[in-house]
Structure 1
Amino acid sequence: MNRLALGMALAALALVAGCSGTSSTAAAGEPAAGKPVPVVATTPQVADFVRNIGGGDVEVTQIIKPGVDPHDYEPTPADMRAIASARLVVENGVGLEKWLDGTIAAAGYSGPVVDASRGVTLRVEGGEPDPHIWHNPLNVKIMAAGIERGLAAADPSRAPAFARNLAAYDTALDRLDAENVAAYRTIPPARRKLVTNHDAFGYYVDRYRLEFVGSVIPSMDTSAELSARQLTDLVGTIRATGVRAIFTESSLPPKTAEAIAARAGVEVVASLYGDSLGPAGSPGATYLGAEEHNTRTIVSALAG
């Protein structure tokens, strides 16, 4: 039995022992008067969207902590207990949370699950859909609308508040997008070249008309590694295309990027918020802050 399966089995036993006293009202998922709606959100980005839309009417349990790589995450018994007592579970979708279905089953949760990716036009790379949909703020507007619908269905009495919060967040997302567009207008198209730790910024690249030259990890997942030939080819491509920097990500180690940058004669710029947000107090503690930081960082490096 692998570690994930063992953890699920242990958690399931704990849930049987610890949750048998749940009231019939809670089991039916009916609102508890005056109490926030308990919501489990998988990633830091999705949790931030839920907090913005739910406001004080939701209590969010965020499974993946800031700075943790979501591609390699393994759920804990605490995650399963949180899911078991939730009224709503919200996921990013597009296969980012490969562990979620099994975790929900082990937790015995039968309530609604909001797949925030529903309605987003997906880009496909190497035959696989790209799960990093949040790097385009216009996609986040679609994600936020789906979350608002899920919250309103979970507690209809608070639907007007959720709708007001969504409208305010939409305005902030439109402002972020407009500021990003304006920032990249200051960079000549020939200099808008990007090399990152891994292929996490495809939606950002498409939205703001950058040129993605390559990545240190040749995949949208973080488990792949460059072969010696691929490493040499990437160094050659960086030199030939005039790339100015390699951008590292907060949730990935920078050593390989630093080695490639040294061979290619370019600088390393640390660090973008790629797969995760930052801890409290950091520039990337929220989605809006993380994306603003990413744009400032990239534009500054490309401007030289």
Structure 2
Amino acid sequence: MLSPLARSLLAAALVVVFAGACGGTGTSSSTPADGAGAKALKVVATTTQVADFARNIGGDKAVIHQILKPNVDPHDYEPSPADIQAIAEADVVVKNGVGLEKWLDQVIASAGFSGTVVDASQGVVLRKGDGSEEEAAGDPHIWHNPLNVKIMTVNIEKAFAAKDSADAAAYEANLAAYDAKLDALDAENAKKIDSVPADRRKLVTNHDAFGYYIERYKLTFVGSIVPSFDTSAELSGKQIADIVAKIKTTGVTAIFSESSLPPKTAEAIGREAGVKVEASEDSLYGDTLGPEGSVGATYLQMETHNTDTIVSALKGVAA
């Protein structure tokens, strides 16, 4: 019996073949950037974060097809026929890397893609995993440190310029402008975190997605509700008792859930430990950006919102 992914790939392959036979391009969710013409660079980006980076670097010279939609878990995704057709037609595919998109290689093979694949994580110093198969490549949540994003966007800019040399100067200018925004974000994050008393800079999060952020801004990680980088993992009864005990003994003042994850377990642990739980549609953004119009709609907005939420909760300030 075919797996769900295999069925998706087979269906998509048939769509691509049919579209090619008819001489059409088929249906795509790609939306041209303002001013992008018929010869715009065709880019497929996997996650909400790398799609946002690609839009900032590509500007009006690129058309971006974003595979993952807001609040969709990237750890366990099954591509649609439209996604695979978009890859078949693309000039460049941008991925986060670090094992996050385990489904992508099969999709690329099924689509018959022969263009450039950009691993945005190249050059980023990775946090090690816990030795499990799921975390074998390391911690994939590299975007939670803006300095890592500076490396990721350089990788994207180089690939765009190599594939579309006529517009290389535009990509370079876009990179410089976004790089300045990342520097400003990083400095502002550090200033805000530094305003929290040192003995209150302790985090319990919904899952282990904020390691790069914690290291960058010198916070103390007490534990996570989900004991893994993978959001599908679950806590045992003993692990729940252990995390409650750690919260009580370390003086943690708040637990942070995520906008894309059910808050039920976090809220139960918060009640048991007697601490505040930040859990709503506008709580922390971990694996995904928010939908258009939300406080996490872009990377810069998301990281600013996360920092403001963390600082307010750790200071005990009402939202």
Shorter-chain TM-score bucket reads over 0.9
- Cα offsets for 1:128-181 (capped at 9, x unmatched): 300000000000000000000011111100000000000000000000000011
Task: Report the Cα distance in structure 1 between the residues aligned to 2:40 and 2:290, rounded to whole angstroms.
Answer: 25
1:224 to partner: Cα distance? 0.9
Contact 2:285–2:306 (8 Å) recurs in 1: yes
Which residue number in structure 1 is paired with residue 186 of structure 2?
A: 177
Task: Report the Cα distance in structure 1 between the residues aligned to 2:170 and 2:252, rounded to whole angstroms.
Answer: 47
Which residue number in structure 2 is paired with residue 289 of structure 1?
A: 301
Task: Report the Cα distance in structure 2 between the residues aligned to 1:21 and 1:54, rounded to whole angstroms.
Answer: 30
Q: Secondary structure at the match of 1:61?
A: strand
1:268 to 272, 277, 296: 277
What is the TM-score when the length of structure 2 is the normalising length? 0.91
User: How many aligned positions are there?
Assistant: 296
Q: Secondary structure at the match of 1:150?
A: helix
- Cα offsets for 1:114-133 (capped at 9, x unmatched): 00000000011313300000
Q: Secondary structure at the match of 2:185?
A: helix
Q: Structure 1 stretches of 5 or more lacking a match? A: 24-31
Which residue number in structure 2 is paired with residue 49 of structure 1?
A: 53
Q: Secondary structure at the match of 1:123?
A: coil
Q: Secondary structure at the match of 2:42?
A: strand
Aligned residue runs from structure 1 range 10-29, under 5 A: 10-20=11-21
Task: Report the Cα distance in structure 1 between the residues aligned to 2:115 and 2:23, rounded to whole angstroms.
Answer: 15
Contact 2:254–2:277 (8 Å) recurs in 1: yes
Which residue number in structure 1 is paired with residue 75 of structure 2?
A: 71
Q: Structure 2 stretches of 5 or more lacking a match? A: 25-35
Q: Secondary structure at the match of 2:293?
A: coil
Contact 2:71–2:289 (8 Å) recurs in 1: yes
Task: Report the Cα distance in structure 2 between the residues aligned to 1:225 and 1:121, rounded to whole angstroms.
Answer: 28
Which residue number in structure 1 is paired with residue 5 of structure 2?
A: 4
2:311 to 291, 299, 303: 299
| Alignment partner of 1:200 is 2:209 | yes
Task: Report the Cα distance in structure 2 between the residues aligned to 1:79 and 1:276, rounded to whole angstroms.
Answer: 18
Which residue number in structure 2 is paired with residue 36 of structure 1?
A: 40
Aligned residue runs from structure 1 range 117-132, under 5 A: 117-127=121-131, 128=135, 129-132=138-141
Task: Report the Cα distance in structure 1 between the residues aligned to 2:129 and 2:116, rounded to whole angstroms.
Answer: 30
Which residue number in structure 2 is paired with residue 115 of structure 1?
A: 119
Which residue number in structure 2 is paired with residue 237 of structure 1?
A: 246
| Alignment partner of 1:99 is 2:103 | yes
Task: Report the Cα distance in structure 1 between the residues aligned to 2:68 and 2:37, rounded to whole angstroms.
Answer: 29
Task: Report the Cα distance in structure 2 between the residues aligned to 1:285 and 1:91, rounded to whole angstroms.
Answer: 19
Aligned residue runs from structure 1 range 132-151, under 5 A: 132-151=141-160
Task: Report the Cα distance in structure 1 between the residues aligned to 2:173 and 2:235, rounded to whole angstroms.
Answer: 47
Amino acid at match of 1:96: L
Task: Report the Cα distance in structure 2 between the residues aligned to 1:295 and 1:83, rounded to whole angstroms.
Answer: 35
1:223 to 228, 232, 235: 232
1:77 to partner: Cα distance? 0.8
Aligned residue runs from structure 1 range 154-193, under 5 A: 154-193=163-202
1:33 to partner: Cα distance? 7.6
1:76 to partner: Cα distance? 1.0
Task: Report the Cα distance in structure 1 between the residues aligned to 2:97 and 2:285, rounded to whole angstroms.
Answer: 19
Q: Secondary structure at the match of 1:40?
A: strand
Task: Report the Cα distance in structure 2 between the residues aligned to 1:33 and 1:197, rounded to whole angstroms.
Answer: 43
Q: Secondary structure at the match of 1:124?
A: coil
Amino acid at match of 1:296: D
Runs of 4 or more consecutive aligned structure 1 residues displaced over 4 Å after TM superposition:
none
Amino acid at match of 1:17: F
Question: What RMSD in Å do the two structures reach over aligned CA positions?
Answer: 1.3
1:34 to partner: Cα distance? 5.1
What is the TM-score when the length of structure 1 is the normalising length? 0.95
Which residue number in structure 2 is paired with residue 26 of structure 1?
A: none
Q: Percent identity?
A: 64
Task: Report the Cα distance in structure 2 between the residues aligned to 1:96 and 1:14, rounded to whole angstroms.
Answer: 26
